Amino acid sequence: MHAPKRLQSTADLRRLQRLMTHALVRPLTREGGLQPEWIDGRPTAEVAAEFIKPNDRLSSFERLEIYNRMYWYRLVECASDDCPGLRALLGEGRFGRLIRAYLAKYPSRSFTLRNLCSRLPGFIREEPRLTSPRTAAAFDVARFEWAQTVAFDGEARPAIEPGELAGAAPGRVRLGLQPYLSLLALDYPVDEYVIAVKRRDALRSEASHAVGGDHGARRLRHVRAPRRTRVYMAVHRHSGRLYYKRLSLPEFRMLEALKAGRPLGRAIAAGGARVRPERIREWFSLWAKLGWICRKPPSP
């Protein structure tokens, strides 16, 4: 891939844009710099000289390196903002290495940084060495933090009113759940952990702005890693605010069945024979009030 000598057409402009994009998104070296070798084996300095002028302080390579670093530092910073719990669990160094490896394999393909960490939980499973010995906890934290992103601005469909199901035949009715609602079966109580991390970070920020604050901030540094405990959870929003709600196993199974598109009667049965009808009515009433239940979307 070579830069056009002159921009004489939109095709030339596209070639130049693609070349610059390739240069920006290339992973940094272990030392945090621009790769010295281009994708076709030529020296990157030679490629940079084709479309970037040097100045009296920086070579073409050094000027290109600034943009390459800015791109990667910005992505790592955004991932850090989206994943405070995962960053705290792994530590700054290991978290940074994880994100750089993740983005090297799954580079950003979206116009919005909102989707940056969408594949991070799966990547943690694919590359457990990067998070060992806390891979299982890291996987749960990453799932929980991505669910918060989905809940914050995911699609919302018209919700069913609490009394709308009265008299409906359970064997025929098929309902859906809001797309922004995530159901999580977790091996760690990551909601408590992430809340503790955010509270500590807020206190640290306050302490760092106080007189002698740096010393106080250091005392707030440690949050104990979560211990293995099976929990079921819904991550959702209500009235524009983000919430997490712990669920019992029968609740979780019913909601999963609704999400899978099963008829209402089968979804209720998924909760188990021991669940009393009054409990089921309470749950459905609450879910409807929270706006979780909607009509099943038509099949594509």
Domain count, the chain: 2
Report the C-alpha gap between 96 and 269 in whole angstroms: 45
Give the three-state DSSP class for 242. Answer: strand
47-70 average pLDDT score: 95
pLDDT at residue 245, as a whole number:
96
C-alpha of 256 from chain center: 21
pLDDT tens figures, 166-208: 666 667 788 899 999 999 999 999 999 999 999 988 876 665 5
8 Å CB contact between 230 and 186: yes
**DSSP state string for 41-77:** SSBHHHHHHHH----SS--HHHHHHHHHHHHHHHHHH
For the chain, give the mean pLDDT: 90
Which range marks the domain in which residue 78 is found?
1-82
- Here the tokens at position 102 are 């993740």
Flag whether 278 is in a domain: yes
8 Å CB contact between 248 and 113: no
Flag whether 203 is in a domain: no
C-alpha of 160 from chain center: 28
Integer angstrom CA distances of residue 88 from 7, 84, 96, 202: 48, 6, 11, 14
Flag whether 118 is in a domain: no
- pTM score, whole prediction: 0.86
pLDDT surpassing 90 at residue 299: no
pLDDT at residue 220, as a whole number:
45
Residue 216 binned pLDDT confidence (cut-offs 50, 70, 90):
very low
Flag whether 288 is in a domain: yes
- Here the tokens at position 155 are 């699609």
Q: Distance between the two ends of the chain, CA-based, in angstroms?
A: 41
Report the C-alpha gap between 175 and 161 in whole angstroms: 12
DSSP state of 263: B
pLDDT > 90: what percent of the chain?
Answer: 76
Residue 235's closest CA among 224, 244, 246, 223? 244
Flag whether 217 is in a domain: no
Of the three residues 49, 82, 115, the one that is the final residue of a domain is 82
Flag whether 27 is in a domain: yes
Residue 164's closest CA among 276, 272, 264? 264
Is the same domain home to 179 and 291? yes
Q: What share of the chain is helix, strand, coil (3-state, %, to 5)?
A: 50, 10, 40
Of the three residues 82, 117, 145, the one that is the final residue of a domain is 82
Give the three-state DSSP class for 93. Answer: helix
C-alpha of 24 from chain center: 23
193, exposed or middle or buried, with CB in 10 Å at 0-12, 13-18, 19+? buried
Among the residue ranges 15-29, 163-177, 180-194, 270-284, the one predicted with the least confidence is: 163-177
- Please indicate whether residue 286 or residue 299 has the higher confidence score (pLDDT): 286
C-alpha torsion angle, residues 279, 283, 288, 293 (rounded to 10): -120
Backbone angles phi, psi at 131, to 5 degrees: -125, 0
Q: Kind of pairing, strands 182-186 and 231-238?
A: antiparallel
Of the three residues 54, 82, 110, the one that is the final residue of a domain is 82
Flag whether 151 is in a domain: no
Count other C-beta atoms under 10 Å from residue 196's C-beta.
15
Is the same domain home to 180 and 75? no
